[in-house]
Amino acid sequence: MATIAAKLGMSRQLDPPESDERTESWLGLFGAAARGRPYTNGYPLPLPPLDVLSLMDRLMFPAGVEEALEVVSAMDHEWLEWAENKR
């Protein structure tokens, strides 16, 4: 790992950012939803809202529907921008 990190210019180890339990819950929901992300011609598409709602129900996620869609959509928007910039 150290060799790969050095080749990528990442020789300095960074501490993970601090996060609370609620943040970890949102990241978990987003991560689970992202596993089913649709692609077309190799390009990622936004997460389907119904998939997010289905996961919320199955995971008994402690948030309202509107809040969850708003937060996950915002996270997804940022991820899509990041993915676009990587190309």
Compute the distance between CA of residue 48 and CA of residue 4 in angstroms, rounded to an integer: 35
pLDDT in tens, 30-87: 999 999 999 999 899 999 999 999 999 999 999 999 999 999 999 999 999 999 998 7
Coil, strand, or helix at residue 41?
Answer: coil
Amino acid at 13: Q
CB-based contacts of 33, cutoff 8 Å, min separation 6: 47, 51, 52, 55, 72, 76
Global pTM reads 0.76
87/5: higher pLDDT: 87
Amino acid at 12: R
